[in-house]
Amino acid sequence: MRKKVKMMVVLIMATAMTIGTTSCETQAEKEAKAEAARIEAEKAAKEAQPAKYTIQTDGRSFAIDVIAYECDDSGDRIHESECRFMFDGNHSQTFTAQPEAVKLKLYVSMDYGFGTTSGWVQIAYPLRHGETTTVNLDGNTGLGRNMP
């Protein structure tokens, strides 16, 4: 009888230790799953927000005319926006991109009062959902004949 009782006590203790270990692992697994779900929800919320872009100038040119082309992943133009910046006016403007836009290409004309420089900004700017891409246009902006 004593052997049976000892055996039962050992069995109960082993079971309790196993359950204790299992519940700790289960808690860690639950926390890991909750963290993964939180990260996935943040990612989905960010993807649901539109991409934005801000075009800004240093205000040194007399006038800057900009045509902003929003492009899809194959490079096709899907939308365009135009803006004009004057020497004494607003030097920044923000736009909301089309949902399928992933790149921004700019055609710029800068008038410095003594001559005009026009061309394509030689960078295609990436657009990401939930983020604002900032484009700075100034005298150092590289312009070219060909679209980037």
Each residue's pLDDT tens digit, 86-95? 877 668 999 9
Domain range 52-144, CATH architecture: Sandwich (2.60)
What does pTM read for this prediction?
A: 0.69
**Per-residue model confidence as pLDDT tens digits over 16-69:** 555 555 556 788 888 888 888 888 888 777 777 999 999 998 877 788 999 999
pLDDT band per the 50, 70, 90 thresholds, residue 15: low
Cα gap 124→89, rounded to integer Å: 26
Most confident of 8-12, 73-77, 102-106: 102-106
End-to-end CA distance of the chain: 88
How far apart are alpha carbons 97 and 104 in whole angstroms? 9
